[in-house]
A = this chain, B = another copy of it.
Amino acid sequence: MAGSPSRAAGRRLQLPLLSFLQGATAVLFAVFVRYNHKTDAAFWHRGNHSNADNEFYFCYPSFQDVHAMVFVGFGFLMVFLQHCGFSSVGFTFLLAAFALQWSTLVQGVLHCFRGGHIHVGVESMINADFCAGAVLISFGAVLGKTGPAQLLLMALLEVVLFGINKFVLLHLLGVRDAGGSMTIHTFGAYFGLVLSQVLYRPQLEKSKHRQGYHSDLFAMIGTIFLWIFWPSFNAALTSLGAGQHRAALNTYYSLAASTLGTFALSALVGEDGRLDMVHIQNAALAGGVVVGTSSEMMLTPFGALAAGFLAGTVSTLGYKFFTPILESKFKVQDTCGVHNLHGMPGVLGVLLGVLVAGLATHEAYGDGLESVFPLIAEGQRSATSQAMYQLFGLFVTLMFASVGGGLGGLLLKLPFLDSPPDSQCYEDQVHWQVPGQHEDKAQRPLREEADTQA
């Protein structure tokens, strides 16, 4: 069975240390976190509000969709490996539940710290979930090769850098990025990829990386939930009214086109012209990533279709051709292919944002310019200069992600963090009590065949 007594003791002690993490977080909440004016009983009833004015009614349905994407979507999307499903869905759950608390503190201090307090409401919940999403993207790059203590340390660091990067971009540089092509996808992907490079394991057997028929169907649950709710993700933090409406509509079209692009390319490059489930599970979602920056802008429905189709094809080609190169040449073992789903489409999304911002005119946006590009509307910037700032935001993001990922990788190599040995990578049983694990090992072959389609 997996592991010596000392390893078991290590496992037994590391996660319980979570209690201290949770205790420290709770103390910080006690000191700093307060209900905001729309949540506090006394404040809310002071003014003369209609209940319909409470932002809860504008934002909570979007929040729920985002929440489903983070916990159902990411969790199940990663269940495509046959023996690694518990870790995929379980550690997603653990990481996101920690990251949302920690990012409430970090983003609260950076973005809405007034009078010595962080004031929370439904908008903080959406921001916290967005940050959890970035952490889960990075998790996708190291799934199966890292233990829960390592992952929590990664989240502890990544949430801080996520918050700082976002603060620099949105508050200092005046960059627009409502759906997070930059702040979430590009940041999360390259943070995870650089981290994975530092943790490179030359002896890791790729053949262990096996999918199963039912694992692939579970993963499709994740895919479909991400796909249907992505319009809400890109719209959740845009300006109310036409802004949210437009962001949802653009994302809807972009995703539809990336799905068609993915099927087309998957058949073209597949063995014997057959479709590959991994492409469908992932590349079909690239349409959501690629309009993350521009979906609130006047992208036009045609623009959304074109961008989505491009993203779907690029992502599929990435899975087929670039992932092997990434490992062989760049020493990056990218378990879920986050470079293809979040990295390249994220960068494309930034560039699309540069283009669409550069084309912004007063005619096209009318008085809505104020809500999409306030600095242009106020005459502080030209459209071209906004576009340059958008582009500069990409470099800042890549810088924070790379330095952070590198630093994270070094931290995760600390020996007491108890990284699983190569022979136990992509195996649930190193961290989980798995049904039947105490039975005769000789039964194993039966199961492996059992979950394939002969």
Q: Which of A29-37, A175-183, A190-198 contacts B (4 or more CB under 8 A)?
A: A29-37
User: Residue-by-residue, is A125-154 near B (CB-CB < 8 Å gives 1, otherwise 0)?
Assistant: 100000000000000000000001000000
Closest to A62 in B: B60
- B46 and A366 form a contact (CB under 8 A): yes
A428 to B217, CA, bound (A): 12
A330 to chain B, nearest CB (A): 26
Task: Report chain B residues within 8 Å CB of A10.
Answer: 273
Task: Report chain B residues within 8 Å CB of A203.
Answer: none
- B122 and A248 form a contact (CB under 8 A): yes
User: Residue-by-residue, is A363-385 near B (CB-CB < 8 Å gives 1, otherwise 0)?
Assistant: 11111111110000000000000
Q: Which of A156-164, A336-344, A393-401, A443-451 contacts B (4 or more CB under 8 A)?
A: A443-451
| From B67, B89, B280, contact of A93 by CB (8 A) | B280
Task: Report chain B residues within 8 Å CB of A366.
Answer: 41-43, 45-46
User: Residue-by-residue, is A57-99 near B (CB-CB < 8 Å gives 1, otherwise 0)?
Assistant: 1101100110110011001100100110110011001100110
A86 to B453, CA, bound (A): 11
- A257 and B301 form a contact (CB under 8 A): no
- A11-B267, A18-B260, A210-B435 known, 6 other contacts, Cβ within 8 Å: A13-B273, A41-B368, A49-B241, A72-B224, A97-B260, A271-B433
User: Residue-by-residue, is A1-36 near B (CB-CB < 8 Å gives 1, otherwise 0)?
Assistant: 101000011111111111101100110011001110
A420 to chain B, nearest CB (A): 12
Nearest first, the 8 closest Cβ-Cβ pairs linking A and B are: A436-B452, A42-B366, A41-B368, A11-B273, A12-B273, A44-B242, A15-B267, A444-B454
Chain A contact patch, size range? 35 or more
A156 to chain B, nearest CB (A): 13
Q: Is A100 an interface residue (CB 8 A)?
A: yes
A33 to B252, CA, bound (A): 14
- A435 and B452 form a contact (CB under 8 A): yes
Task: Report chain B residues within 8 Å CB of A67.
Answer: 228
A58 to B54, CA, bound (A): 11
Closest to A430 in B: B274
- B277 and A433 form a contact (CB under 8 A): yes
Closest to A239 in B: B51
- A248 and B56 form a contact (CB under 8 A): yes
Q: Which of A165-173, A302-310, A321-329, A408-416 contacts B (4 or more CB under 8 A)?
A: A302-310
Q: Is A358 an interface residue (CB 8 A)?
A: no
| From B11, B55, B363, B437, contact of A42 by CB (8 A) | B363
Residues of chain A in range 207-249 having any CB-CB distance to chain B below 8 Å: 210-218, 220-221, 224-225, 227-229, 232, 240-246, 248-249
A90 to B223, CA, bound (A): 11
Q: Is A113 an interface residue (CB 8 A)?
A: no
A211 to B303, CA, bound (A): 43
- B450 and A437 form a contact (CB under 8 A): no
- B42 and A368 form a contact (CB under 8 A): yes
